[in-house]
Amino acid sequence: MMFGYATRETPQLMPAPITWAHALTRTLAEYRKTGTAQWLRPDAKSQVSVRYLDGKPIEITRIVVSTQHSADVSLAAIREFVVEELVPVSLQGAVLGTDWRDHVLVNPSGSFVEGGPASDTGLTGRKIIVDSYGGAARHGGGAFSGKDPSKVDRSAAYATRWAAKNVVAAGLAERCEICIAYAIGVAEPVAIGVETFGTGDPAECSAWIRQNFDLTPHGIIEDLQLARPIYAPTSAYGHFGRDDSDGLFPWENVARATARTSVLA
């Protein structure tokens, strides 16, 4: 089974916590590559906890940033950089409480000089939650990276995100999770499930998806052009909620939603 998800919480139609967590690590990389903070090193991770009210994110309650660094910088200097520079630049527009600085954890385990594959690596694929929706939606369990698009673990996960994003962009629901299940050797999905969390009609969404998306493995690969060598950028910042202006993330395209909206208009 593969799951796809979309929500109106952010302009990217992604959950706010994972969007903001990726924003922090993107900014870290920018500071490192431009030499603004020369002590930064490539390995880093982030986590953002968010309080919700009536299904909407209203306040960031906790921020965790762990970054690899050179041996000649103090933890106090790293914390000052994260609190005074990184967070304000990365999370513009996010709601931070008045005492938010007291709720930022920076390198909580202490010194982080050794990093990267030399100190921490695995063989079975990347972390599936940071690559998808940060835990805001269910996951079928299969990693994306390390698999070619003939494996539905990857291609169908992209297709369900594509379909869910178009459902939300088309106004059929404010929040949508799609699950599709396959049997090995059978092209058509054996099941398609749609959950709109009370924000739309699941039956209408399901009918629209079946009418507008070919969810066979071959159809997904053809429609999303997944045979191209487009996957290197997915090694960081997740596979979803990405800018598709260069055509590298076609599952983020909402042209089918736009077409439906135009017809209704």
pLDDT for residue 14 is more than 60: yes
Q: Taking each helix axis from N to C terminus, what angle separates 152-169 and 255-264, rounded to the nearest 10 degrees?
A: 30
Among 60-74, 123-137, 220-234, 247-261, the minimum mean pLDDT is found in 123-137
Mean pLDDT of the chain: 93
φ, ψ dihedrals at 206, nearest 5°: -60, -45
**Averaged pLDDT for residues 165-190:** 96
Q: Do 2-7+125-264 and 16-106 agree at the fold level?
A: yes
Amino acid at 123: L
Structure confidence by residue, pLDDT tens digits, 62-89: 999 999 999 999 999 999 999 999 999 9
CA-to-CA dists, residue 214 to 55, 59, 117, 194, 218, angstroms: 31, 39, 38, 16, 9
Q: pLDDT band at 93, cuts 50/70/90?
A: confident
The bridge status of strand 40-53 relative to strand 56-69 is antiparallel
Output the pLDDT for position 259.
78
Which CATH code, of 2.60.40.1180, 3.30.300.10, 3.30.2350.10, 3.40.630.30, is assigned to 16-106?
3.30.300.10
Output the pLDDT for position 146.
84
Q: pLDDT band at 258, cuts 50/70/90?
A: confident
Among 38-47, 109-118, 165-174, the minimum mean pLDDT is found in 109-118
Nearest to 165 by CA among 198, 126, 132, 130: 132
Which CATH code, of 3.30.300.10, 1.10.10.10, 3.30.930.10, 3.40.47.10, is assigned to 2-7+125-264?
3.30.300.10
Output the pLDDT for position 69.
98
Residue 149 · residue 157 · CB < 8 Å: no
Domain ranges of the chain: 2-7+125-264, 16-106
| pTM recorded for the entire structure | 0.92
Q: pLDDT band at 124, cuts 50/70/90?
A: low
Those residues whose C-beta lies under 8 Å from the C-beta of residue 108, and which sit 6 or more positions away, are 64, 66
CA-to-CA dists, residue 126 to 83, 111, 130, 139, 141, angstroms: 29, 24, 9, 14, 11
The three-state secondary structure class of 230 is coil
Q: pLDDT band at 126, cuts 50/70/90?
A: confident
Write the burial class of residue 93 (CB in 10 Å: 0-12 exposed, 13-18 middle, 19+ buried). exposed
Report how far residue 131's alpha carbon sits from residue 108's, in angstroms, rounded to the nearest whole number: 23
